[in-house]
Structure 1
Amino acid sequence: MPNKTSMPSRALLAGALATLSVGATAEAQSPADTVLRDGSLYTVDAEHPSAEALAVRDGEIVYVGDEAGVDAYVGPDTRVIDLDGRMVMPGLQDAHIHGITAGRAQCDLDYRPLSVDEFTAHFEGCLADPDFGTQRDDWLTVEHWYVQFLKPRGTEVDKAVLDAIDTERPIIVYDVWGHAALANSRALELAGIDADTPDPQGGVIKHDDRGRPNGWLYDDAQFLVDEAMPERPPLDPVDAARRGLAVLAEEGITSFQAQSESRDTVETFAELREAHGLTARAHFLIDSGAKTGDELAAFIDELDAIREAVENPERLPLQVRAWRPGEQEGPRLVAEPGVSVAGVGEVMADGILQAPTQTAALLEPYRVNAGSEDAPDWRPGDNRGEAYIDAETLGEMATRFAERGYQTQIHAIGDRAVRNTLDAFAMLREADATAPQASGYDRVGDSRPLMSHAELVDAADHERFAGLGVVPVMSYQWAKPAPDSTDAVKPYLGAERWAGYEPEGELAAAGAKIAYGSDYPVDPLDHWFALEAAVLREADWGPEFPAYAGDLNAEQQALSLDAAIRGITLNAAYAMHQDEVTGSLEVGKLADLLVLDRNLFEVPAEDISETQVLMTMVGGDVVHRAEDFQP
């Protein structure tokens, strides 16, 4: 099991805190707006990781140190928050999230383990609910199906299960990963999907033994059904954004990088910023497929137009824009959150590892069971997954985007897709090294290319992340025994590849700067469970599921709590080009911070997931406070 890390006791803090207090007199001539005192501060500042008090003026941290030093910052109008020993840490930063708005209600399976009977019974209530439609042509859309958690283990279904439900309505059920959906026959009919329908770019239509669609649609094949659905009455987008932000603030998220977004969503958040309604720093990556040549150039022009329309340089810290081409000017710090059009993502290099989908691109084939369930005989099969975009195209895209000041985040899960993506980013680095100064742009080297997920990485590629400056954006919560790992991945990889599954530990040891991305709403919004999983590599499924007891390669792959927190704070800030102004509690940075109901370093690691955020502060303003927290 990973080592437990403890924060220093207060008796041992004196030397470190004394250094932090130097220079307090000059700063303290003007009282702070807010002082937090008598706390246990974890700063994520490697030189001074611990403190007792902090002062904020105009949204900026002006003091971090001991109790005695903070007195000089308290004036008659200073808001003083007595923490009574509670833990304070930097705000959470999510470098890969999708769910940033609160949409309309859907028939929701809520990520639960279900038998086939329980699965179909759930539809009866949804079909009877007038909020989900009543007419023959009203689509029933169902979310958050944890398909790998069908009971008993090994259960497989196709459209026949949906066709047996007593309804003529079209039904589409989306798995929790967002990479697969199951449609009934009526839905396939309305979408025009039959035995002759070709697979779309970036997607797969599955067929039965007779060549007919069996209802499963993988990746971009889902869009064929989505496009057949009638438009629904629009929601108020600003209200949906405001409600989504309230959920993020309660979780403790102070900055996010949203994936695969549209111009409409970005404009909605810009409108909310005009009304001073943002409660988190918003970075957007715009949706993109494979593009080259003139099509790629036109898309970049469109990105420029979006950025010009919604960004306001005076509302973004300078570091967010400093690496972009041309002369960049503006304030070093901006306390109120702004909107950044950061780049493009997530570009889909492949799919997912989980059976039955198995569209993640592998160097060696997935294994197949040539025996029986009772006497398995696992051998290499023919399937190596789907490399949706080749390395050359990815490299051209990443290079052209970086030249114009746009980040690229590429989804790569299988080891072949990971290698293709690293090869693409190597092309980016080579272009930077050989680009003539006359081009007017020499900052590609700080483009900080991002790779999301990287669930399976060949050992030969571990050191390439650090060497190329590629940031792996990992979802800690996936690193646990569960149906989607133990059942749906492990037997198909074999022992050697399984040992490197979810390789946070090996990537960190090789020098990679790991950042965290939740991928919400693929998973529930639970960053505190993610932290626990990063350290323990396990989950408590209870006695009903003994197959998922124990850990997932903790000895090789677990992170220390310090490293896991750094990934979800300072390293994620690095991925968003704002690590010089957020991500740690240091003098001169923005006051984006949390007050917690427990000290993560003092509770048993298995209790980290129970953490509650008592207060969330962004730029010195409280954007969430728990009802029972009245300091």
Structure 2
Amino acid sequence: MRPIAIIVCCLFASASALAQPANLVLRGGNIVTVDETFRIVDAMAIRDGRIVATGTAADIETAIGPDTQIVELQGQMVLPGLIDSHVHPSNASTFESDHEIPQMDSIEDVLNYVRGRAKVVPKGEWIHLSQVFITRLREQRYPTRDELDSAAPEHPVSFRTGPDGSTNSLGLKENGIDKEFARKHPENVMVDPATGEPTGVLRKASAVFKSRPNRSAKKLTEAERDDRLKMLLDDYNRWGITGIIDRNCNDSARAQYARLLKSDRLQIRVRMSRSLNPNGDLAAIEKKLDTIAADPYFAGPDPRLGVIGVKVFEDGGMLTGSAYFNQPWGLSTIYGIDDPNYRGMQYIDHQRLESLVRSCVQRNLAFTAHCQGDAAVDALVDAFAKVNTEIPVGPTRSTLTHSSFMSKRSIDTAAKIGIGVDLQPAWLYLDARTLVAQFGEPRLKYFIPLRSLFDAGVKAGGGSDHMQKIGSLRSVNPYNPFLGMWIAVTRTARWHDKPIHAEQSISRQQMIRFYTINNAWMMRNEHETGSLEPGKRADFVIVDTDLLTCSDDQIRETQVISTWIDGKPVYQSR
């Protein structure tokens, strides 16, 4: 079709769309469409939950009928609904169902919490504390066996951060971990080099360490769990979030989303990366993949709920001293590393990783793996590249998850293959101080390398890895998208005196794409959401700050006035 004919058709379609009154019109503001040219308009018309026109107020005047709701923006900014590429809502929503857990910034905060729990938990029962990252404690280390003993001498204690953690003497005893056991499991049990006694710090703890649930903790009914999940999803809406990807969705969480959808309580778009155990018989894994591919939420996803693929864990964590690197971690009192050749933990070998990628791509499932260190990223990129010579990987929307440490080679290869990258800016803010202390600044050149990814044309999407608590700034990790935008623009790290590789900062336009259209692409939903264009669903957020012109510090202070999905408000501040 000739260009002139295309223009005529578009004009005809627009005129046809405006021939009937709109249900809703917004006008008099800065409506950021996030279309290909990042057009900003002052009016938008919506009918039956979809955008029918954008332009000037005069352009859409004919769409206003006697029953049209009109929102006078008075200069306010409108963005496409924000999307978080990485959350864990089901577990996060129930984390404080028994009792509130305070912010912890030091070992003493941790010990005070344990002391408080020791007063209410029956003697002999476990005290659990998880995901208090040592990189975020001022001392930058795990609490030791002796410290935990002093806080809870009559309770076994489990302090877990990702795959690693620490425990006290009763916790070690209950698991049969002593000096002899430590000698046989040097990769798991950290010891005092002078005595050979376990320090209480455990690597890949689940391989050698088990704890029991606290029998006195509050037990939630199915209805109570669903109510708490709805409470969290409502708080996502309160911060302008209209879409999320659950990046390790198990059967229980899938069932929860389905129940909320059925009862018309799912006021957010959810896409699921189903959890997958990569170990064991490959034929059994492929049978599991067949089941996931046959899920009706994959074959014919609902507008609100769908499956996109699977997630596995390829290496450990950068916050716990177990990410898999090309170069050794280096000796570390922060992470308790005394082996100069230690490079971290690799959980999946190259051959198995390639087989998993191939099996997913053959079923059109998006494959992703938790990969933090640059060696883990390289391994997954290489697996994608190998499979891509046989079957195109890009159309599956497969991604690298976290990929906090990258290289120019891995970025260029990701761009060539067409895979996405799911990143967490808040980790730069909360954890870079510790990483600089451990590695030195030069080694962080490609740490959360946003500018390099955008320049290469990689679809980079902003996420939070929200794991615990309800509350956009008190959560672990914080899911406030405006905090993430501010970090992406400024590269600011807490308790650190200068930006972390400021050359990797991105522009205001890019920071908005980072939380909108790029994540819609990862959701396999960019034809429906992620930008404000005629024909797309009317998911948008009205904010009190012009994010394109405000000062850097004002970005993180942005407040949401209202959030809309399918042209209906799901949150209003007033």
> Which residue pairs with 2:51 in the alignment?
61
Residue 144 of structure 1: how far off its partner (Å): 4.8
Structure 1 residue ranges (4+ consecutive) displaced by more than 6 angstroms after TM superposition: 19-22, 198-201
The correspondence of residues 183-582 of structure 1 with structure 2, limited to 5 A, is: 183-195=167-179, 204-209=188-193, 210-219=195-204, 221=206, 224-226=209-211, 233-236=219-222, 237-291=225-279, 293-304=282-293, 307-308=295-296, 313=300, 316=302, 334=303, 337=304, 339-345=305-311, 347-354=312-319, 357-368=320-331, 381-432=340-391, 445-480=394-429, 484-487=431-434, 489-521=435-467, 522-539=476-493, 541=494, 545=495, 548-554=496-502, 556-582=503-529
Contact 2:293 / 2:299 at 8 angstroms: preserved in 1?
A: no
Task: Give the structure 2 partner of residue 180 of structure 1.
Answer: 164
1:347-392 per-position Cα deviation (integer Å, ceiling 9, x unaligned):
11111234xx4211111212337xx99xxxxx99211111211222
Q: Is 1:188–1:225's contact at 8 Å kept on the other side of the alignment?
A: no
Rounded Cα–Cα distance in structure 2 between residues aligned with 1:460 and 1:25: 48
Cα distance, 1:625 vs. partner?
A: 1.0
Q: Deviations over 1:4-32 (max 9, x none)?
A: xxxxxxxxxxxxxxx99885432122111
Aligned to 1:7: none
Correspondence list, 1:584-623, <5 A: 584-623=531-570
Q: State the distance in 2 between where 1:181 and 1:455 align.
A: 21
Q: Which amino acid aligns with 1:270?
A: A
Secondary structure at the aligned position of 2:525 is classed as: coil
CA distance in 2, matches of 1:294, 1:82: 59
Distance in 1, matches of 2:387 and 2:205, equals: 27
Q: Secondary structure at the match of 2:84?
A: strand
Partner-residue secondary structure (3-state), 1:278: coil
Q: For structure 1, list consecutive stretches of 5 or more residues without a partner in the other structure.
A: 1-18, 317-333, 374-378, 434-443
Asked if the contact 2:142/2:166 (under 8 Å) is kept, the reply is: no
SS at match of 1:102: helix
Specify the code of the residue in structure 2 equivalent to 1:350.
D
Q: What's 1:88 paired with? A: 78
Partner of 1:28: 18
Alignment CA distance shift 1:221-1:255 (3 Å): same
Across the aligned residues of Structure 1 and Structure 2, the Cα RMSD in angstroms comes to 3.0
CA contact (8 A) 2:385 2:413 kept: no
- Give the superposition deviation at 1:188: 3.4
Bigger shift: residues 99-108 or 565-574: 99-108
Q: Is 2:101 the partner of 1:138?
A: no
* Whole-angstrom CA distance in 1 between matches of 2:184 and 2:388: 32
Q: Give the letter aligned to residue 473 of structure 1.
A: D
Q: How far did residue 615 of structure 1 move?
A: 0.8
CA gap of 1:136–1:417, structure 2 versus 1, over 3 A, is: same
SS at match of 1:427: helix
C-alpha change, 1:155 and 1:182, in structure 2 (3 Å) is closer
CA contact (8 A) 2:80 2:516 kept: yes
Displacement of 1:266 in angstroms is 0.4
AA aligned to 1:610 is: E
Letter in 2 for 1:509: D
> Is this contact kept in 1: 2:165–2:205, CA < 8 A?
no
Q: 1:363 is aligned with what amino acid?
A: N
The amino acid across from 2:552 in the alignment is: A
How many percent of aligned residue pairs carry the same amino acid?
25
Query: 2:559 & 2:184 partners in 1: Cα distance?
Result: 44
Q: Is the 8 A contact 1:20 1:65 kept in 2?
A: no
Encode CA deviations 1:21-76: one digit per residue, 9 max, x unaligned: 88543212211111111111111113352011111111111111111122212212
Change beyond 3 A, Cα 1:193–1:388: same
Unaligned runs of at least 5 residues, structure 2:
1-8, 468-475
**Tell me, what secondary structure is at the counterpart of 1:423?**
helix
Residue identity opposite 1:124 in structure 2: R
* Partner of residue 121, structure 1: 112
TM-score scaled by length of structure 1: 0.80
Partners of 1:349 and 1:160 in 2: how far apart? Answer: 32
- The residue type paired with residue 456 of structure 1 is F
Partners of 1:252 and 1:594 within 8 A in 2:
yes
Q: Distance in 1 between matches of 2:237 and 2:12?
A: 33
Q: Deviations over 1:593-617 (max 9, x none)?
A: 1011111112201111111111111
Distance in 2, Cα, partners of 1:94 & 1:167: 42
Letter in 1 for 2:40: S
The residue type equivalent to 1:208 in the other structure is D
Q: Distance in 2 between matches of 1:414 and 1:601?
A: 33
- Would you say 1:99 and 2:65 are equivalent positions? no
Report if the CA contact (8 A) 1:183-1:215 is conserved. yes
Q: Is the 8 A contact 1:108 1:143 kept in 2?
A: no
In 2, Cα distance between equivalents of 1:223 and 1:312: 40
> Secondary structure in 2 aligned to 1:485?
helix
Secondary structure in 2 matching 1:62: strand
Deviations 1:152-199 (A, max 9, x none): x45653121111014512322334xx3433322223333454456689
Q: Closer, same or farther in 2 for the Cα pair 1:191/1:240, shift >3 Å?
A: farther
Q: Deviation of residue 99 (structure 1)?
A: 2.6
Which whole-Å CA distance do the structure 2 matches of 1:614 and 1:145 have between them? 32
Give the superposition deviation at 1:300: 1.5
| Deviation sequence 1:278-300 (CA, Å, 0-9, x none) | 11111111212224521222221
Structure 1, 76-85 or 287-296: larger mean CA deviation: 287-296
**In structure 2, what residue type is equivalent to 1:266?**
R
**Alpha carbons of structure 1 residues 154 and 579: separation in structure 2 relative to 1, 3 Å:** closer
Shift in CA distance, 59/197, structure 1 to aligned 2, threshold 3 Å: farther
Task: Write out per-residue CA displacement over residues 242-269 of structure 1, whole angstroms, 9 at most, x where no aligned residue.
Answer: 1221121112111111022211110111
Matched residue SS, 1:342? strand
Shift of residue 218, structure 1, vs aligned partner: 3.8
SS in 1 for 2:58: helix
SS in structure 2 of the partner of residue 67 of structure 1: coil
* Greater displacement, 184-193 / 224-233: 224-233
The aligned amino acid for 1:417 is A
How many residues are matched?
548
Amino acid of the residue matched to residue 113 of structure 1?
Answer: D
CA distance in 1, matches of 2:521, 2:227: 30
Offset at residue 302 of structure 1 (A): 3.6
Q: What residue number does 2:135 align with?
A: 148
The 1:470/1:194 distance shift into structure 2, 3 A limit, reads farther
For the structure 1 residues 239 and 190, does the alpha-carbon distance in structure 2 shift closer, same or farther, using more than 3 Å as the test?
farther
* Residues in 2 aligned to 1:364 and 1:85: alpha-carbon distance in whole angstroms: 52
SS at match of 1:260: strand
CA distance in 2, matches of 1:196, 1:173: 23
